[in-house]
Structure 1
Amino acid sequence: MDELSWNDGTWLNEPPAAARDGADLLMTAARGSDFWRTTSYGYDRDSGHALLAPLGPDAAAEVTFRADFTEQFDQAGLLLRLDERTWIKAGVEYADGLFQAGAVVTHDRSDWSTFPVPEWAGRAVTIRASRTGDAVTVRARAGDEPWRMLRVAPFPPGVPAAAGPYCCAPERDGLTVRFTRLAIGPPDESLH
């Protein structure tokens, strides 16, 4: 994987504050920011903050961040985006009193899958999205633990997209997330 500079990305919905702390990026989310389309909640939101770099077909992106969340729906991770109707966000979200690893896959409408990871609280988490053919395989881990598969999802093949760190704070002001790494490289060699 080739590490990118934060200067290699372009903002989608620039956050109220973004600053460098050494090599790290501190991104502060606006209250009400989110990525979601329609399903169950009945609204469309495309207001989350993301710093996106080009990601071609048959490539992978990784983002590492510190999971320090305290409020309902605080979230951060990796956004893979084709357009406002076709994207995947994967990461950690504080939901219903627990840290949850999960992914939202959106093709006109969003879905959401999660599993609890309370042991990831306050730790460095890495999310990896690997594009091959018509699919994206999303994996996650805390520290240097083994990768856990979060999702295999369809994604349009052969088209350029963008990927990078994202954060959202649907319910509060003041969420600041420390991102420590953005890297792009070859896709995973196999699903398993």
Structure 2
Amino acid sequence: MERRAIEWSEAAWLNPPAAVLADGNDLLVTAREGSDFWRTTSYGFVHDDGHALLTDLPVDTAVEVGFVAAFEQLYDQAGLLIRVDEQTWIKAGIEFTDGVPQLGAVVTHGVSDWSMAPIPEWAGRAVTIRASRSGDALTLRARCEDGPWQMFRLATLAPDAVAAAGPFTCAPTRSGLTVRFTSFAVAAPDDSLHLD
């Protein structure tokens, strides 16, 4: 499968955002205040009202989303959402917490978990998140600008699960977060867990 750009109009919104504006080939998405994806763990609440622009993600496919954002408030976030249903989903990308942007993922199978690592040097720069779906695995990678891909999570996703994927953003604590999404594409999955 050759890499193919996905037109924004080919995908459908899960929870439309406060505003969407086409700017050349980019898409400017403004999140609603209080929007998020989370299930139960530690916080005790369920949120399923984040914004995601989704298209089909069959097995043996990879999806990539590129974006730039000025994250300033606690839990500002954007990246790539992979969704089966309200209890089975994975969000991967950048989230602002502890005063810096963090690269991380929330993997949800009934309840959510959360892994993250600080990447202050990526602040305000172009980021691409890639998810490769192969067998029962979803391999998550990221890169800043044209830097090398780095794997940051290997998660399970049932081979028979009907999944969709695409860009997402949430603003749990404020209004006015606008994310510039710069690319959305599908391609063949990575052929190895460890890229040389």
Class of the TM-score when normalised by the shorter of the 2 chains: over 0.9
**Could you say what secondary structure the match of 2:103 adopts?**
strand
Counterpart CA distance in 2 for 1:17 and 1:71 is 19
Q: Which amino acid aligns with 1:187?
A: P
Counterpart CA distance in 1 for 2:35 and 2:158 is 26
Aligned to 1:179: 181
Query: 1:150, CA displacement in angstroms?
Result: 1.1
Q: Which amino acid aligns with 1:12?
A: L
* 1:93-104 matched pairs, under 5 angstroms: 93-104=95-106
Gaps of at least 5 residues in structure 2 are none
1:105 counterpart = 2:101: no
Aligned to 2:69: 67
Instruction: State how many pairs are aligned.
Output: 192
Match of 2:85 among 83, 88, 95: 83
**Could you say what secondary structure the match of 1:7 adopts?**
helix
Q: Which amino acid aligns with 1:128?
A: R
Aligned to 1:31: 33
Offset from partner CA, 1:133-160 (integer Å, 9 cap, x none): 0010000010011111110011111333
Aligned to 1:169: 171
**Could you say what secondary structure the match of 1:191 adopts?**
coil
Structure 1 residue runs of 4+, over 6 Å off? none
Contact 1:67 1:92 (C-alpha < 8 Å) held by counterparts: no
* 1:127-142 matched pairs, under 5 angstroms: 127-142=129-144
Quick one: structure 1 residues 90 and 142, their matched pair in 2 at CA, closer, same or farther if it must change by over 3 Å?
Answer: same
**Could you say what secondary structure the match of 2:121 adopts?**
helix
Counterpart CA distance in 1 for 2:157 and 2:120 is 30
* 1:142-161 matched pairs, under 5 angstroms: 142-161=144-163
1:117 counterpart = 2:119: yes
Contact 1:133 1:158 (C-alpha < 8 Å) held by counterparts: no
Q: Which amino acid aligns with 1:78?
A: L
Query: 1:185, CA displacement in angstroms?
Result: 1.4
Counterpart CA distance in 2 for 1:160 and 1:103 is 20
**Could you say what secondary structure the match of 1:130 adopts?**
strand
Aligned to 2:48: 46
Query: 1:27, CA displacement in angstroms?
Result: 0.5
Query: 1:58, CA displacement in angstroms?
Result: 1.3
Contact 2:69 2:178 (C-alpha < 8 Å) held by counterparts: no
1:7 counterpart = 2:9: yes
Q: Which amino acid aligns with 1:161?
A: A
Offset from partner CA, 1:90-117 (integer Å, 9 cap, x none): 0001101011000000000000000000
Query: 1:189, CA displacement in angstroms?
Result: 0.2
Give the TM-score taking structure 2 as reference length: 0.96
Determine what percentage of the aligned residue pairs are the same residue.
61
